[in-house]
């Protein structure tokens, strides 16, 4: 069965599964990446997501390889440019990644323009279909934080200047649509308010935030914003960095090459959000795994199918380092969860809400 499609914009149809490339160039070699991309494309996936900072864990030696591998695959396989939908992202302020534009310090016009041009070179294309702000150019609680601290706000680039830069990128033909990522309800609505004041500003069509059985914070406020403003969710980490596959509950804590084992101590953002030492996360995950077993479902397929059932989800952004993992994700498109499965999932969620943020 082919992967179903979704109209994300009037002239942009995306597959409901989006292949995230952040393992390309770190966990996956060029040849392995090509093999996974071949399988995905042949199965009906036309939507591919990357970022200028990928792969992760981020380091100077590998920065940009994920985009490079994706661009080389399209060129090598002679895939028509209009047969794929390419999404990538500009990195927000970060003092850690000094190798990206010196920080990057901010999202002013110079930084956005430079980031777009460099991504186009790595992707070997004249344009990207969806260009996203990877995280806000202002203080917000992110990556495991839940409480807002107003004393941590820093001088940031006004949204007007960010949107002017993105508008020029669209007018030049380098970008078709724009999206946000890791945003808050305030950020979504403020960007939309500011965009209304800028002549020719492109439509913000998507929000790429985390959403999974273990993280449903999108539903508390963002869902209302997106519903009324016709913005669709690109749900990343639908497997909660692989936790929902159940592999970390196997003997000795799961495979040595599983991401949370392979990069232990080197991937702070991931480990802070997907903390397997959290008793609540472990109990909740075990209960979801039991539901899958009870109804004869593969836990990966159940987790992905749950995300795809959300009325505001356009596509689930997944990662896969092995062919068997990719196949399990593809299988989810053939599943429609029964009402009793959803009811049991919601019962677990009511007792253990959002243990991973």
Query: Within its chain, how far is the Cα of 303 from the centroid?
Result: 15
Question: Annotated catalytic residue: which of 54, 131, 211, 248?
Answer: 54
The angle, 0 to 180 degrees and rounded to 10, between the axes of the packed helices 299-308 and 339-351 is 90
What is the secondary structure of 25-79 as a DSSP string?
TTTB-HHHHHHHHHHHHHTT--EEE--TT-SSS--TTTTTHHHHHHHHHHHHTT-
Helices (H), 196-278: 222-229, 259-262, 268-273
Longest CA span, the chain: 58
Backbone angles phi, psi at 77, to 5 degrees: -85, -5
Q: Give the three-class secondary structure for 291.
A: helix
Instruction: Tell me how far apart the alpha carbons of residues 223 and 204 are, in angstroms, rounded to a whole number.
Output: 15
Measured between alpha carbons, how far is 26 from 247 in angstroms, rounded to an integer?
20
User: Which residues are CB-contacts of 293 (< 8 A; sequence separation ≥ 6)?
Assistant: 299
Cis peptide before 104 (omega within 30 of 0): yes
Is 54 a known active-site residue? Answer: yes
Paired with 235 in beta bridges are 209, 316
**Which residues are part of the catalytic machinery?**
54
């Amino acid at each position: 069965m082919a992967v179903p499609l979704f109209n994300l914009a009037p002239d942009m149809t995306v597959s409901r599964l989006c292949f995230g490339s952040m393992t390309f160039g770190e966990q996956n070699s060029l040849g392995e990446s090509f093999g996974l991309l071949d399988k995905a494309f042949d199965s009906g996936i036309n939507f591919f997501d990357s970022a200028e900072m990928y792969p992760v864990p981020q380091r100077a030696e590998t920065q940009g390889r994920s985009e490079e591998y994706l661009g080389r695959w399209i060129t090598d396989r002679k895939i028509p440019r209009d047969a794929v939908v390419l999404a990538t992202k500009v990195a927000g302020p970060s003092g850690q990644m000094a190798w990206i534009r010196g920080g990057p310090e901010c999202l002013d016009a110079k930084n956005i323009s430079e980031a777009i041009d460099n991504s186009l070179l790595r992707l070997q294309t004249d344009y990207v279909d969806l260009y996203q702000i990877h995280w806000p150019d202002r203080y917000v609680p992110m990556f495991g934080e839940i409480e807002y601290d107003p004393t941590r706000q820093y001088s940031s680039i006004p949204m007007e200047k960010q949107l002017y830069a993105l508008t020029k990128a669209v007018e030049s033909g380098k970008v078709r649509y724009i999206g946000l990522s890791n945003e808050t309800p305030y950020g979504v609505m403020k960007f939309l308010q500011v965009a209304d004041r800028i002549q020719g500003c492109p439509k913000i069509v998507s929000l790429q935030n985390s959403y999974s059985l273990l993280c449903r914070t999108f539903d508390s406020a963002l869902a209302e914003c997106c519903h009324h403003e016709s913005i669709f969710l690109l749900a990343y980490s639908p497997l909660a960095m692989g936790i929902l596959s159940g592999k970390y509950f196997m003997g000795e804590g799961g495979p040595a090459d599983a991401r949370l084992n392979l990069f232990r101590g080197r991937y702070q953002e991931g480990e802070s959000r997907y903390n397997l030492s959290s008793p609540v996360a472990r109990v909740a995950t075990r209960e979801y795994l039991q539901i899958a077993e009870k109804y004869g479902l593969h836990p990966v397929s159940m987790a992905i199918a749950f995300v795809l059932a959300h009325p505001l989800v356009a596509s689930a952004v997944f990662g896969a380092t092995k062919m068997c993992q990719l196949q399990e994700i593809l299988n989810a498109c053939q599943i429609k969860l029964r009402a009793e499965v959803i009811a049991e999932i919601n019962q677990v969620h009511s007792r253990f809400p959002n243990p991973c943020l």
